[in-house]
Structure 1
């Protein structure tokens, strides 16, 4: 089982008891504001998402990790690697992404988890380039991307929602762990 520990977090595979707390995160309109169409997700949609994320682990050898606080065991959200199939123009590509509950914002958890995920991409999965995609206006996510050393690669439009997106990228041969 793939697990990564950082000073404050455990990045791990999903468990059945993660569905309800992740559904609470996905039900928050402020959390979902810049995700896809911006609409909150319910328990059933969250369970389906987690099932897809776990399938990606089986299919690709990487996926989205559940992010757990080391001190309390509380689920904070997710981070990890995925293939951004929703945006065919960037393929083939692997994206680093994250989503945390609002109570975990502003504490450096997203940067800490994403940093560990980039190291995983380089050292364990042998990837040479990783992208990250944010809706324009999602300044917090773009700030995390800058902290990771990612640079803007292109601006485009979400093919379904029509929302403007910015794609950031990093060549992992130049990544400084």
Structure 2
């Protein structure tokens, strides 16, 4: 999976990406809508899980490579390993380095991931979720054509955690295909 966009490449993560991914995962600005920034060990374990997911399923979150800058983010598709009202499901997600945010890179990479998921992988639907306060993320979900389905309590966060409540969005393959025919 090497997906080429106008400005970036979305490719499988490798162990060589651990430093770049740790820079994302330790950055409080990047991780402000997550429970906490990751330690080096947590970030390296996450990269290992993503690589294993890629090997097992043929897709995962991948490295967002920008010419001259290298890996500036992680975007892709992942099977959700926990229970929620919408699981089993494949999610789309993104993390972009602070210096490269607000440049449309998450959207460009997410569109590549959606095309891969609905095209080659023929997934029937893709979901996304985020805390309500993460307006930039849910606005991106809407630009991608995803529809808000409701909210849920994230099972990996305590009920009293400030980020426990998440919005969830969904896009079905037939909706994605119909929207592409209108372009």
Deviation string 1:137-174 (CA, Å, 9 cap, x unpaired) is 10010011011000101201112323110100011212
Match of 1:9 in 2: 8
C-alpha distance in structure 2 between counterparts of 1:67 and 1:87, whole Å:
28
Equivalent pairs counted in the alignment come to 173
C-alpha distance in structure 1 between counterparts of 2:117 and 2:156, whole Å:
28
Deviation string 1:32-71 (CA, Å, 9 cap, x unpaired) is 1112x2x1112221111011001111222211111110x2
Following superposition, the deviation at residue 15 of structure 1 comes to 2.3
Match of 1:40 in 2: 37
CA contact (8 A) 2:14 2:51 kept: no
Following superposition, the deviation at residue 9 of structure 1 comes to 0.7
Runs of 5+ unmatched residues, structure 2: none
C-alpha distance in structure 2 between counterparts of 1:49 and 1:137, whole Å:
24
Question: In the alignment, which of 85, 103, 115 is matched to residue 89 of structure 1?
Answer: 85
* TM-score normalised over the length of structure 2: 0.90
* Root mean square deviation, CA, Å: 1.3
* TM-score normalised over the length of structure 1: 0.93
Match of 1:172 in 2: 173
Following superposition, the deviation at residue 82 of structure 1 comes to 0.5
C-alpha distance in structure 1 between counterparts of 2:68 and 2:83, whole Å:
36
Following superposition, the deviation at residue 87 of structure 1 comes to 3.9
Runs of 5+ unmatched residues, structure 1: none
C-alpha distance in structure 1 between counterparts of 2:118 and 2:77, whole Å:
11
SS of residue paired to 2:85: helix
Following superposition, the deviation at residue 129 of structure 1 comes to 0.7
C-alpha distance in structure 2 between counterparts of 1:50 and 1:119, whole Å:
23
Match of 1:118 in 2: 114
